[in-house]
Chains A and B, each alone.
Chain A
């Protein structure tokens, strides 16, 4: 298992903040400009499994969390890379060239939260019908349910 110090030595320059929470998970917060560099460095390090991309709107900005796993023989390493994007003009770089499985995950985040992934060819809705209005993104916090 990689320790917190190892992560700080290897990726400290690319991530603005690295912390280990009480469950032993590593959280890396980074800037959008350095995000692709950090991800390709992690991929070279062996983090080749992308579990999913979580999009989360806290009301002020949109969090994108990339859950990565490096499979070891016992007790694998988990890293969560967090980037923040604007709510008004939400954009993030596409990671299709690094992780081809992000195809469906990026389409899902675009569909439900309206984050445009730059470099993703043919980015379109995944789950909602194609004829819903362009700015209809139900997982945003200003979308209220009448229940």
Chain B
């Protein structure tokens, strides 16, 4: 008897296992091969069997951290398919959630990268600050993760005036904290030793390998979907694209910290410019059938360009939904980045593109000269890399200079 499983593309981003095989010569990595798909849930196939409104809550669960980006990106594409007019206030609330999501995602990542290089003090501080954003999104939507704020044609909840003033406080607080972090990161020897000059991705390579998001911007590529392909309210929003020419893990940290400051500015702009009154959603019922259409939708998620292709055949269910997550786009760049670096540098490089925390659950290291294969888990690799840096830091400092 054959068993049928619901299968579709997955999302190799958060809390999901990925398996890398690194080929090393002595201490140097010469090649890498990622294996993904361990938590393949069949969401794309399943989405073809659910109605347009059921899919809102299915696609939100593609990712736990950027759930609003996924739901908003799908809602934005579905609105094009339905040819719906979205009220302006709904776009402001949606953008507010996107920017808050970027703040807490970058704070989470900053903690993770500090944990990867063994600097747990900063990890504790960033995660403490992240709670203020989490409390705010809970006040707005009622939930800390999976906010379900979007719907096709707008948002599901209006926002109260007193919450907006709280959003201002949070934006000011995070911006001041981000400035502190930038000062610490640029001065602290422990961080510089492990990140400066590690995981080089040149500008030409970043363009050639189609790298997206903060990883590309840390290589000096001035590409941001919010700016280059403006959607929602970003056409009117004044903001700068943060770039850095360092091309290494340190630049990726700096770019994300500065992006938090920019996001805080955007949040303040949204609060001051949000329309006071008006509807927050268009009238589309779950039994409205869309016309025959196909649409693309792009959103700058915290990790980079998020892409949806949506096709309808005029039914209650979509004909095809294609999702491309930013981590999948950056996997090819990671393979390029680790080549030529030491085994001890693998954790900060792989964490540098902001994949999931358990992404590096298990690593197989193959020594080409000895043809030996040993398997390390993430904790062992972390301990190995910290010990290796403790033993070798003198000559490695000389070499990097």
B184 within 8 A of A: no
Cβ B10 vs Cβ A52 within 8 A: no
* CB closest chain-A residue, reference B207: A48
Cβ A51 vs Cβ B40 within 8 A: no
B375 within 8 A of A: no
Cβ B296 vs Cβ A25 within 8 A: yes
B342 within 8 A of A: no
B340 within 8 A of A: no
Binds A, one of B110-118, B194-202, B322-330: B322-330
Interface size class of B (residues with CB under 8 A): 35 or more
CB distance from B233 to the nearest CB of A (A): 15
One of A72, A101, A129, A139 near B210 (C-beta < 8 A): A101
Binds B, one of A7-15, A34-42, A74-82, A84-92: A74-82
CA distance A60 to B319 in the complex (A): 14
CA distance A145 to B311 in the complex (A): 19
Cβ B229 vs Cβ A76 within 8 A: yes
Contacts of B6 in A (CB 8 A): 138, 145, 147
Contacts of B229 in A (CB 8 A): 69, 75-76, 78
Contacts of A21 in B (CB 8 A): 294
Contacts of B228 in A (CB 8 A): 69, 71-76
A16 within 8 A of B: no
Contacts of B61 in A (CB 8 A): none
Cβ A52 vs Cβ B49 within 8 A: no
* CB closest chain-B residue, reference A72: B228
Can you list, as one digit per residue, whether each of A102-134 has a CB less than 8 Å from chain B (1) or not (0)?
Answer: 011100100010000000000001111100000
B159 within 8 A of A: no
Given contacts A76-B229, A99-B210, A100-B332, contact A127 B10 (CB under 8 A): yes
B209 within 8 A of A: yes
B208 within 8 A of A: yes
Cβ B324 vs Cβ A52 within 8 A: yes
Max chain B Cβ within 10 angstroms of own Cβ: one of A71, A74, A105, A143 = A71
* CB closest chain-A residue, reference B6: A145
Cβ B332 vs Cβ A49 within 8 A: no
CB distance from A127 to the nearest CB of B (A): 4
Contacts of A73 in B (CB 8 A): 228
* CB closest chain-B residue, reference A55: B322
Cβ B322 vs Cβ A128 within 8 A: no
Cβ A54 vs Cβ B309 within 8 A: yes
Cβ A145 vs Cβ B46 within 8 A: yes
Contacts of B332 in A (CB 8 A): 100-101, 103-104
Max chain A Cβ within 10 angstroms of own Cβ: one of B9, B46, B208 = B9
Cβ A50 vs Cβ B210 within 8 A: yes
Given contacts A56-B311, A76-B228, A78-B296, contact A100 B10 (CB under 8 A): no
Cβ A112 vs Cβ B9 within 8 A: yes
Given contacts A76-B229, A127-B10, contact A145 B4 (CB under 8 A): yes
B267-300 residues at the A interface, CB under 8 angstroms: 294-296, 298
Contacts of A55 in B (CB 8 A): 322
CB distance from B277 to the nearest CB of A (A): 29
Cβ A108 vs Cβ B9 within 8 A: yes
Cβ A126 vs Cβ B49 within 8 A: no
CA distance A128 to B319 in the complex (A): 22
Contacts of B331 in A (CB 8 A): 104
B347 within 8 A of A: no
One of A65, A105, A147 near B49 (C-beta < 8 A): A147
Cβ A51 vs Cβ B311 within 8 A: no
B190-224 residues at the A interface, CB under 8 angstroms: 207-210, 223
Top 5 closest pairs, chain A to chain B, by CB = A127-B37, A101-B210, A52-B324, A138-B7, A54-B322
Contacts from A to B (Cβ < 8 Å): 21, 23, 25, 48-52, 54-56, 65, 67, 69, 71-76, 78, 80, 99-101, 103-105, 108, 112, 125-129, 138-139, 143-147
